[in-house]
Structure 1
């Protein structure tokens, strides 16, 4: 808005300048016209008078041309500023609309968890009985720590729960709010965190041993999943935990 205000101010200044130039040119033109009248009233036989008359006519013509040129330039600049003003107004309105869309999207993301889950649950297009059965099996899977099995895939897991991969994936996405792989990895990391907090001997394990017990195929996949969920590396987590225990 400050830019728009400045443009309006500039246009006003140019308009004022244009009026001043016009007034000055009118004064000069009147002066030249008076001089022309005086020379016309003098003796026409005089060569000096004729030359003076021609010079005054030429000067008046040049003044008129200069004035017109200034007017064209000032009008052109004013039109350009008006055009820029219009473009800025358009962009400003467009920016306001974009801001409203962003705010609307942010408000939608702030929906309560229950409301969000219910909306996604409605959009699953799966029979309620099937959804309830899958959720019950997932709870049993978590309680029995079935995620500690290293070689577990979506296909084998769906077969284990006696459902298909499409239904299982949709239910996990909607109710756990994550993909199947992230769901399994988060359960494994959470298991490792509990062991690190409650089991002193587990804290002495190597990364490879921790990864193996938690169901990860490699130490690298374990450390990546751990840092993704906690925001810390395993070593920094252990250091923090040891500091707490030593206090």
Structure 2
């Protein structure tokens, strides 16, 4: 009987121990479950927060890129406008320079025209014409290196008066006046001097006061319309008849 009592007591004690263990484990299980739930909730919140942060960062990135594009567009527009303004300014400067140049040229022409139209004293004109006549008679044009300045100095006048008198009364420039006198001298020599007709073109040019044969032939053809050789051939033919 005692054995049975003891057995029942042992069973009761074991049962009580199991119950107590069960009671002890139940809070732990709930705590674990709650912790797991909390962790799950935390993970969802973290994920949602992460997604929100990603979305916010993407929006900020897009906004930043938009601002960069806008600023770049504004910068390019300003550069373009600046280039146009520089082009227009440079073009305006060129137009202004052209206008100023035309005005100065017109002013210079008016000044030259006024100087040309200024009347020279008749006594001065008469003295220059008389000196030109003596110059032609004395064949001063045969001097090879004669210049307007030297000639004016020789006639005791200035280059402006001398040039205007030659232009007005001889109807040619100073250079053409001198060259025509030299060519006329050569023509007379070709027509009247048999030995001169035997000269080379270079020798003819030198005697007539030209520095080169080329300048002589150009001046000769300009005045006569013929080359030196052609004129010489025709002169020989006429004299042989």
Could you tell me the TM-score, scaled by structure 1's length?
Answer: 0.50
* Gaps in structure 1 of 5+ consecutive residues: 1-121
Q: Which whole-Å CA distance do the structure 2 matches of 1:211 and 1:124 have between them? A: 38
Structure-1 separation of matches of 2:118 and 2:144: 29
1:186–1:225 CA contact under 8 A, matched in 2: yes
Report the counterpart of residue 182 of structure 2 in structure 1.
188
Per-residue deviation, residues 194-222 of structure 1 (Å, max 9, x unmatched):
00000000000011100000000000000
2:194 is aligned, of 172, 180, 200, to 200
Distance 1:160 1:223 in 2: 28
Tell me the equivalent position of 1:228: 222
In structure 2, the partner of 1:21 is none
Tell me the residue number matched to 1:239.
Answer: 233
Off by >6 Å, runs of 4+ in structure 1? none
Cα distance, 1:167 vs. partner? 0.3
How many residues end up aligned between the 2 structures? 126
Residue of structure 2 aligned with 1:151, choices 126, 145, 152: 145
Q: For structure 2, which runs of at least 5 residues remain unmatched after alignment?
A: 1-115
- Bigger RCO of structures 1 and 2 (CA < 8 A, at least 6 apart): 1
Q: CA deviation at 1:245?
A: 1.6
SS at match of 2:163: helix
What TM-score, normalized by structure 2, do the two folds share?
0.51
Partner of 1:78: none
Pairing 1:106-117 to 2, within 5 Å after superposition: none
Q: Over aligned residues, Cα RMSD in angstroms?
A: 1.2
